[in-house]
Structure 1
Amino acid sequence: MGSKKNPAARRAQKNARRTTRKQKGTRSTITASRTARGRSLFDLNPPGTFYQEWDTPTGNDKELLDTATTAFGADSDEATTTRLILEYRDIYGPRIPIAAAAHLDLIVRDTDLAAELATSMGSSMNDVRESLHSLHAQGMLLVADDESLWMTIPPGTPYSAAGGQWAFVEQKVAAPSN
């Protein structure tokens, strides 16, 4: 079913476009909107193996990055990973689903989804990546156990599945091939 006939798909696309427009040049709108809602992805308790472990980096960004760069060098894999985790923390909040967020980055890199969205929305690949992570942080996208990406409706909303459970609405992309 295309997005024209699927209200949930239309809402998700509208939210992605709105998020992209708001984020131009800054991620502060992501953090502000998450704080205003008061519900992080962790609070929504998403199902699946990608959401079993959550990383909670402690310390401020400068301390963490300084520690990694001093110990391993500014261009090291460890410093790059630290920068990525700090970026995730800006988007997801203090509790980060590292496996799911990293897999979403693989989907962005290894599938046509991000390129198709960038073309259709007239946005850069980086803006699309940030929008996808923002939607993921809000529970509008989830990584399923089969490594595919799904548009979802979080529990506790009027469009949730019966009993206020997660609703998996539409598969956006299959698992990336290795």
Structure 2
Amino acid sequence: MARNRKADPARRRSDEAARRAAATERVGPRTPRTPRVKLLHALRPPGEYYQLWAEPSTQFLQDPEAALKEAIGRYGEDSCDAATLRVFAGHAESYGHNVPTAAAAHLDLLVRSSGMATAMAAAITDGDEEETLAAVHRLHGMGMLLVDDEGAVWLTVPPGTPVSAPNGEWRFVEKKIPAPGRWSN
């Protein structure tokens, strides 16, 4: 009894392979695509510091300086709203539309108070501490640095990369800054 050509899986696979080979010969091989970098929110980092995400308004994303001036005029220079908008303005490029407010503020505090920013600035950016801090936040925004539940900063490998942990989980590689209260002088 003859089987239908479409019902035979082996025949379908061989036909598809022949079709792809003919297309490659006709058009040429596919050009390799550069992988799209996922931002931290899309990677879903674990931990307490990543429970609260703030999303700036469309008005803020269109004109951050005007939104900051409006917040300062409405709430005052030292208000929490103005401070939050300053964080958004400083880290919009690093984190995209969703900012992990607790993690970003904690990372900022640890990098400044541990002396890491000063040491890195001297070694990398010719003494510009703000540029170094922005670079640390860019690494955090790509998932290369994470804050664990104790408050320590870790060098990490995000899920979905060739060297990530099994089952597509985060790999915590090396503790870069210990949690507050655990610094040794």
TM, length-normalised to structure 1: 0.73
Structure with bigger gyration radius:
2
Alignment pair present for 1:104 and 2:104: no
The match for 1:76 among 62, 73, 78 is 78
| Whole-angstrom CA distance in 2 between matches of 1:139 and 1:38 | 10
CA distance in 2, matches of 1:171, 1:162: 20
Match of 2:167 among 157, 163, 166: 163
Report the AA paired with residue 148 of structure 1. A
Match of 2:47 in 1: 48
8 Å contact from structure 1 (residues 41, 137) kept in 2: yes
Kindly state the Cα deviation for residue 122 of structure 1 after the two structures are TM-superposed: 4.4
SS in structure 2 of the partner of residue 108 of structure 1? helix
SS at match of 2:53: coil
Task: Write out per-residue CA displacement over residues 118-161 of structure 1, whole angstroms, 9 at most, x where no aligned residue.
Answer: 22224321111011000000000000111000000000000101
Greater relative contact order, per chain length (Cα 8 Å cut-off, separation 6+): 1
Q: CA deviation at 1:50?
A: 0.4
Normalised to the residue count of structure 2, the TM-score between the two structures is 0.70
Larger deviation: 143-152 or 55-64? 55-64
Query: Size of the alignment, in residue pairs?
Result: 142
Structure 2 unmatched ranges of 5 or more: 1-34
Cα distance in 2, alignment partners of residues 119 and 62 from structure 1: 30
Higher helix share: 1
Structure 1's consecutive aligned runs of 4 or more residues displaced over 6 angstroms after TM superposition are: none
Counterparts of residues 136-155 of structure 1 (less than 5 Å):
136-155=140-159
Shift of 1:63: 4.5
